Amino acid sequence: MTSNNFKPNPEHKFTFGLWTVGNRGRDPFGDATRPSLSPIKMVKELSRLGAYGVNLHDNDLVRIDASPEERNRIVREFKQALDDHGMKVPMATTNLFYDPVFKDGAFTSNDPGVRLYALQKTMRSMDLGAELGAHIYVFWGGREGAEVDAAKDPREALKWNREALNFLCEYSMACGYDYKFALEAKPNEPRGDIYLPTTGAMLGFIATLDHAEMVGVNPEVGHEQMSGLNFYHVVAQAIEAGKLFHIDLNDQKGPRFDQDLRFGSESIKNLFFLVRLLEESYDGPRHFDAHSYRSENEEGVWEFAAGCMRNYLILKQKARQFNEDAEIQALLAEIHSSAPEYSEPLGAYSRDRAEKIKALPLDRTELAAKKLPYERLDQLTVDILFGVR
């Protein structure tokens, strides 16, 4: 199989954050290892590689202290670059974590002045995203957490967070922006603990919002793995709930600090099932929220970006192979088979149905004796992933 089989094009809807390919390799222990790239250059290079678009925080494009004139000039030039290279901005978000003002939270800061500033910054950033054509708005509350639980009541923090999101849903509708909000969870880092630490917690919280229908989730591979969770299961639940509004694809070496590694570089089997699931039941952008190793120069950054897309397309091809494999399909049919009298759907409760179930001659020894050839099934999956089948 030649590499041409895995050539990305805009129909694949691959997107990258400006902060991802723009990552300069800084970490808490070391400074930048590569020079900064302009947003226009990133648009150009990503388009050349076959991406569909770029996503951004307000300050990835417009620095926090920019004058209105400067802001307008930057936006005009950026829009021109998007047009020139046929690139979209499907998602926008707010940087509510970098500036010192957010040192103890944005929407959940103890200080009402900071909470208002966070709201003001978000509304302005939503204006910017709408101007660039975004319809998905991500909320990653990196500073919405605590180290010192004596200082903040988490119930208060949740209420403040809810009030802010309710307000912003109304703002979006009043402006005719047509945004879908996507909430992104992370268990910790940069805070000792971040509130609403998993996508499951986010789903519970969303149900308490005034406009729950406008709000879904933006799960990130590494963030759920930091909590020791199975990302495939996380995403399946979000899809089943009709709440997968966006996705952050990357990779991670186990439950440690957030690594944002190249998609498909580590968790190959789990991401294989993920891609198979996304291809079956998710239509939105495939966004890579990852960055190149700190040891790379600019050339390595484009290698990294191409690698994310390539790995996705390889896994997509493997998913097709899995679905078309006669032996695998026969095994699945065997695994899912059961006596016809037990195969009708459970259906809604009725007294009659309950009585019938209670009277069934279910023999647990017979049920337990059913053969489950999972070893063979899993080995065939591994053979496919290893490329020997």
Q: Where does this chain bind ligand GLT (CB under 6 A)? A: 19, 57, 93, 138, 140, 184, 220, 248, 289
Catalytic residue status for 287: no
Q: How far is the CB of 41 from ligand GLT (least distance, A)?
A: 19
Question: CA-to-CA distance for 241 and 22, rounded, in angstroms?
Answer: 34
**Which residue stretch of 272-280, 286-294, 297-305, 373-381 sits at the interface with Mn ion (rule: CB under 5 A)?**
286-294
Please check whether residue 258 is in contact with residue 226, taking contact to mean a CB–CB distance below 8 angstroms: yes
Q: Indicate the DSSP class of residue 262.
A: P
Element (H, E) at 279: helix 268-281
Site for Mn ion in 333-362 (CB under 5 A): none
Residue nearest to ligand GLT (CB): 140
Instruction: Tell me: does residue 220 bind Mn ion (CB under 5 A).
Output: yes
Please check whether residue 318 is in contact with residue 384, taking contact to mean a CB–CB distance below 8 angstroms: yes
Catalytic residue status for 258: no
- Our CB check for ligand GLT shows the closer of 93 and 381 to be 93
Q: How far is the CB of 78 from ligand GLT (least distance, A)?
A: 18
Burial of 279 (0-12, 13-18, 19+ CB in 10 A): middle
Integer angstrom CA distances of residue 250 from 137, 189, 241, 291, 361: 19, 17, 23, 8, 49
Selected from 58, 144, 224, 260, the binder of Mn ion by CB under 5 A is 260
Selected from 45, 144, 258, 266, the binder of Mn ion by CB under 5 A is 258
Instruction: Tell me: does residue 251 bind Mn ion (CB under 5 A).
Output: no
Question: CA-to-CA distance for 174 and 160, rounded, in angstroms?
Answer: 21
Question: CA-to-CA distance for 63 and 111, rounded, in angstroms?
Answer: 24
- Our CB check for ligand GLT shows the closer of 226 and 278 to be 226
Partner whose footprint covers residue 198, from ligand GLT, Mn ion, none (CB < 5 to 8 Å by kind): none
- Our CB check for ligand GLT shows the closer of 220 and 266 to be 220
Catalytic residue among 60, 248, 260, 289: 60
- Our CB check for Mn ion shows the closer of 45 and 289 to be 289
Q: What is the DSSP string of 295-345?
A: T--HHHHHHHHHHHHHHHHHHHHHHHHHHH-HHHHHHHHHHH---GGG-S-
Partner whose footprint covers residue 93, from Mn ion, ligand GLT, none (CB < 5 to 8 Å by kind): ligand GLT
Partner whose footprint covers residue 138, from Mn ion, ligand GLT, none (CB < 5 to 8 Å by kind): ligand GLT
Question: CA-to-CA distance for 200 and 224, rounded, in angstroms?
Answer: 10
Instruction: Tell me: does residue 248 bind Mn ion (CB under 5 A).
Output: yes
Burial of 310 (0-12, 13-18, 19+ CB in 10 A): buried
Partner whose footprint covers residue 19, from ligand GLT, Mn ion, none (CB < 5 to 8 Å by kind): ligand GLT
- Our CB check for ligand GLT shows the closer of 119 and 319 to be 119
Question: CA-to-CA distance for 115 and 31, rounded, in angstroms?
Answer: 31
- Our CB check for ligand GLT shows the closer of 140 and 312 to be 140
Q: Indicate the DSSP class of residue 220.
A: B
Helices (H) and strands (E) in the chain, counts: 15, 10
- Our CB check for ligand GLT shows the closer of 220 and 224 to be 220
**Which residue stretch of 192-200, 203-211, 219-227, 374-382 sits at the interface with Mn ion (rule: CB under 5 A)?**
219-227
Q: How far is the CB of 221 from ligand GLT (least distance, A)?
A: 10
Q: How far is the CB of 19 from Mn ion (least distance, A)?
A: 9
E strands in the chain: 14-17, 53-57, 91-93, 136-140, 145-146, 180-184, 193-194, 215-217, 248-249, 286-288
3-state DSSP call for residue 113?
helix
Q: Which residues are tagged catalytic?
A: 57, 60
**Interface contacts to Mn ion, rule CB under 5 A:** 220, 222, 248, 258, 260, 289
